[in-house]
Amino acid sequence: MENGGLAELHVDRGVDRGYVGNVYLGRVVRVLPGMQAAFVDIGLDRAAFLYVGDIWPQMFDKQGGGGGNDDDEDPGVDEDAVEADEDGPPREAPRPGQPNIQDLLKEGQEIVVQVAKDPIGTKGARVTTHVTLPGRYLVFMPTVDHVGISRRIAKDRERRRLREFVDKNRPKGGGFIVRTVCATQTNITLKQDMNYLVGIWEKICGAAEGRKAPAPLHLDHGLVLRMVRDSFHDDVERMVVDSPKLYEEVCAFMEEFSPELKEKVHLYRGAEPIFDTFGVETEINRSLGRRVWLKSGGYLVIDQTEALVSIDVNSGKFVGQGNSLEDTTVRVNLEAVKEVVYQLRLRNIGGIIIIDFIDMDRESNRDKVYRALEEELKKDRARTNVLKISEFGLVQMTRKRVQEDVVRYLSETCPVCEGKGSVRSRQTVCYDVFRELQREAARAVAKETLFVNVHPSVADLLYGDEYPVLEAVEARLGKRVVVRPLLHLHVEKYEVYSK
């Protein structure tokens, strides 16, 4: 929560927690030269997907042994990308001169991989051979010979201190990303974090030697400890936990890594649900809706499609005209900027996002809204990329996300419309029924009566507005039609029969 309001929502229900960050000894089950990718069995329901761009020459494979840096080949870390994103190095984009997948992997080969993206729907997990191990202050990359410093550490002197210290102390062939929080930490603290992470990697390598694929080698913390590790620093006022067991776990973690922050952890003992006490419940409900209201009376409409998420900004009732119309528009757009970024974080929306602001005549105003969006996005820890606002008032942006988004996690496809968001109108169903009656009449020439089972709301229409048409159908077919309302029928479904 920030300033008393919900800022981000992360959900983990234990049974189906994500796999991102876990390290496995996997077996290559198929190499797909056409796609420059491979399927790797890591012991999950579906084989994981490994793209050639995610295979690093120095990867750990059991034949080659421990991730050693035998050749001088540069792994080609994109310095800017690493530093722009303190969560890890880039995982996409094959580099020119990249070897073919069939030269790197063969079926049956055992390799160490880390899950980069959770399985979503029918897609298997996405894995990389490039293991990154996040610590409290640093991120360890055992197979990348590189030290990256978070761009958000601005002071040159501090950057130099950190780079020199980490460079001097890192293991041969391995690298680190120095997170923003390092700026206030002593060398001793950093060294502890480095030792801790190198220790984890040694355990992983040891486990890989002794096991047969597929096997888990290292499971990342559950959500709560991961959040604590990554986000619980000086700037956090307090942490409230309503599970005595988790409370103990968090305290033990803080004891080990940041004892000075331990007193900020509180056990919640209230009678009402913790989400009610802190107003989280109402915000969750708001974040599941398609329409989100703004204080000015405007609103956002958020739609998720397979390809992208569209956010439409609406003014509601305009109050101005002429010059003041443009002013009102800008005001609503600026208000929308804050809510859009809030919703992006809260829903954890990823991929391509299109924001349709209300049209503004003046370029200076479009610039103003665009700059406000850029500014507001600084609050977002996820990596985003925003293109300039177009003349139609459209903004195209991308947002990087590894976990599934919250709305999808908390929802399932509507069983009535199966996700279309609309069903055949009742009137359309009536006319489907009329045509089916005609077919049935042709099949059952000898029968005098035809029966129709429909949803009660369709039956209402057949005996209401559409009754004259029904009568005409009866007259034309020379048969009686009996309509039966059945509550359990889907609105779009009907049964026509004779007996």
Q: Which is nearer to Zn ion, 20 or 417 (CB)?
A: 417
Q: Which is nearer to Zn ion, 417 or 491 (CB)?
A: 417
Residue showing tokens 């009376």: 297
CB of 285 to Zn ion, least distance (A): 18
β strands within 88-174, DSSP E: 110-117, 126-128, 133-134, 138-141, 147-149
Residue whose C-alpha is closest to residue 64's, from 173, 141, 147: 173
Enumerate residues 6+ apart whose C-beta is below 8 A from 47.
29, 30, 39, 40, 41, 124
Residue whose C-alpha is closest to residue 214's, from 48, 402, 17, 51: 48
d(CA 267, CA 244): 7
8-state DSSP, 316: S
CB of 296 to Zn ion, least distance (A): 30
CB of 492 to Zn ion, least distance (A): 11
Specify the amino acid at residue 265.
Answer: V
Specify the amino acid at residue 8.
Answer: E
CB of 412 to Zn ion, least distance (A): 11
State yes or no: cis peptide before 244, omega within 30 of 0: no
Q: Which is nearer to Zn ion, 177 or 302 (CB)?
A: 302
- Tokens, residue 155: 């002071």
Residue whose C-alpha is closest to residue 490's, from 418, 412, 413, 411: 418
d(CA 485, CA 493): 12
Contact residues for Zn ion (CB under 5 A)? 414, 416-417
Q: Which is nearer to Zn ion, 74 or 303 (CB)?
A: 303
Q: Which is nearer to Zn ion, 93 or 416 (CB)?
A: 416
Q: Which is nearer to Zn ion, 445 or 487 (CB)?
A: 487
Q: Which is nearer to Zn ion, 266 or 420 (CB)?
A: 420
CB of 413 to Zn ion, least distance (A): 8
CB of 419 to Zn ion, least distance (A): 7
CB of 414 to Zn ion, least distance (A): 3
The HSE-up count of residue 300 (CA atoms within 13 Å, CB side) is 29
Q: Which is nearer to Zn ion, 414 or 472 (CB)?
A: 414
266: left (phi over 0), alpha (psi -120 to 50) or beta: beta
CB of 428 to Zn ion, least distance (A): 16
